[in-house]
């Protein structure tokens, strides 16, 4: 798993992400203030698990970012206010250290 947080993303970064989002994700970004973006590159299975964790941990929006190899590795974007994205990413980090 690779993970990064972008605080106070520049407008061009948001545009780059929107080009790789499904329509509902682009709409959400246009209608909300994005204080931070959490990005996680993981397997498809982990993507669903981490999205669920993030949504339960904080008031964030999650969306899959289209990539070049969606069958094996994909990227999850977690968007929202800075404190909410940080809380969501911390919950994922803790869960990522646990084996099931």
Ordered DSSP codes for 7-60 = ES--HHHHHHHHHTS-HHHHHHHHHS--SEEEEEEE-HHHHHHHHHHHHHHSS-
What's the whole-model pTM score?
A: 0.91
Q: What is the pLDDT of residues 31-90, one digit of tens each?
A: 999 999 999 998 888 999 999 999 999 999 999 998 766 566 789 999 999 999 999 999
Taking only the tens place, the pLDDT of each residue in 12-33 is 999 999 999 999 999 999 999 9
Print the domain residue range for 25: 2-96
CATH number at residue 46: 3.30.70.1710
Q: Domains in the chain: how many in total? A: 1
């Amino acid at each position: 798993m690779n993970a990064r947080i972008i605080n106070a993303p520049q407008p061009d970064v948001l545009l780059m992400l929107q080009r790789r989002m499904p329509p509902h994700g682009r709409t959400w970004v246009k209608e909300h203030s994005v204080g931070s973006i959490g990005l996680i590159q993981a397997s498809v299975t982990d993507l669903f698990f981490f999205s669920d964790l993030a949504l339960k941990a904080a008031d964030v929006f999650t969306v899959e970012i289209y990539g070049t190899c969606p069958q094996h590795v994909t990227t999850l974007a977690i968007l929202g206010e800075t404190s909410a994205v940080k809380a969501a990413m911390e919950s994922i980090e803790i869960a990522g250290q646990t084996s099931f």
